[in-house]
Amino acid sequence: MSTYGTPGAGPAVFDPATLPPDDNVNPYTFCVELKGSQWFLQKGKMIAYYGSIDFNGVGHGRLDRLVRTSFHSPLHASDWVVAEGSGKMLLADRAFDVNSYDLENGNLTIRSGNLLAFQPTLSLKQSIVPGFLTLIGTGKFVAASNGPVVFMEPPIRVDPQALVGWADCPSPCHHYDHGYMTGVMGGLRALTGLGGVSGEEHQFEFVGAGTVLLQSSETLMAEHATGAVPHQAGVPGGGAHSPQAGQSGVPRLPGQLGDLQRRFGL
């Protein structure tokens, strides 16, 4: 097997035997190995797989027991599926950095768009902070970030756009810099209405014990519609003349309800 960077060598070529189990293939792709097991997976994050793996919506009837113990976020249910079977699947998200993390009898709150997958030994709950999810228990999860993640210890104030999540510490509070708001830049924004809130003006403040996860960028990962067919030529159901192309953006229901919704063209 050859890799980039070796003189005269081509790209690395993987097969089921050489893909690393439950590890990064490169900084942007993670390989999950299933051995008759299950993983929760955000829609649109699986790019390929080997083996016999089934994907079912969170609302699928026979998964009720699993969902009852491990998934407690109705607001996000339509964005997630359960992968089960035997094989290896590759996860990625638009060439963002992807890494796995282990929780041991802990709790971690993470921005919902950054969480790609997690083991059912963890319990997912809806955070009281809008746009975030909380994982509780012991297990592995996979997350994406816009740049490498750095781990910081409170007390600390962080730019909200750089925040990925926090572990084993209280939820943050808002902090506004009075000097910046009343200074020249704040005055210009108040008079003209131009410009948005910056990290110098508004931060999330963390106190107490725990760990804060930051991405190495002040640019949030752009929201990406999940479970939708992209309107691109060559994509089944996504061409300009496709009967689905003119449909309104009605959110797809999870599981069997979603299958009925699609079948009747809703």
Supply the pLDDT for residue 11: 87
From first CA to last CA, the distance across the chain in angstroms is 48
SS3 for the chain is CCCCCCCCCCCCCCCCCCCCCCEEEECCEEEEEEEEEEEEEECCCEEEEEEEEEEEECCCHHHHHHHHHHEECHHHHHHEEEEEEEEEEEECCCCCEEEEEEEEEEEEEEEHHHEEEECCCEEEEECCCCCEEEEEEEEEEEEEECCCEEEECCCEEECHHHEEEEECCCCCEEEECHHHHHCHHHHHHHHHCCCCCCCCCEEEEECCCCEEEEECCCCCCCCCCCCCCCCCCCCCCCCCCCCCCCCCCCCCCCHHHHHHHHHCCC
**Amino acid symbol at 229:** V
Distance CA 43, CA 150 (A): 26
Residues 258 and 59 sit within 8 Å (Cβ to Cβ): yes
Supply the pLDDT for residue 174: 83
Supply the pLDDT for residue 241: 47
Buried b (16+ CB within 10 A) or exposed e, 33-57: bbeeebbbbbbbbbeebbeebeebb
Distance CA 46, CA 43 (A): 7
Residues 115 and 149 sit within 8 Å (Cβ to Cβ): no
> What is the CB neighbour count within 10 angstroms for residue 175?
14
* Among candidate residues 224, 256, 210, 195, the one with its CA nearest the CA of residue 92: 224
Match domain 14-145 to its CATH number in 1.10.3080.10, 3.30.300.250, 3.40.50.300, 3.60.160.10. Answer: 3.60.160.10
pLDDT truncated to tens, each residue of the chain (266 aa)?
A: 444 445 557 888 999 999 999 999 999 999 999 999 999 999 999 999 999 999 999 877 678 888 888 999 888 889 999 999 999 999 999 999 999 999 999 999 999 999 999 999 999 999 988 899 999 999 999 999 999 999 999 999 999 899 999 998 888 888 877 665 565 555 555 555 544 455 567 889 999 889 999 998 876 666 555 445 556 555 555 554 444 444 445 565 555 555 544 444 44
The residues of the chain that CATH labels 3.60.160.10 are 14-145
Supply the pLDDT for residue 185: 55
Supply the pLDDT for residue 58: 87
**Amino acid symbol at 146:** N
Residues 211 and 168 sit within 8 Å (Cβ to Cβ): yes
In angstroms and rounded to an integer, the radius of gyration of the C-alpha atoms of the chain is 21
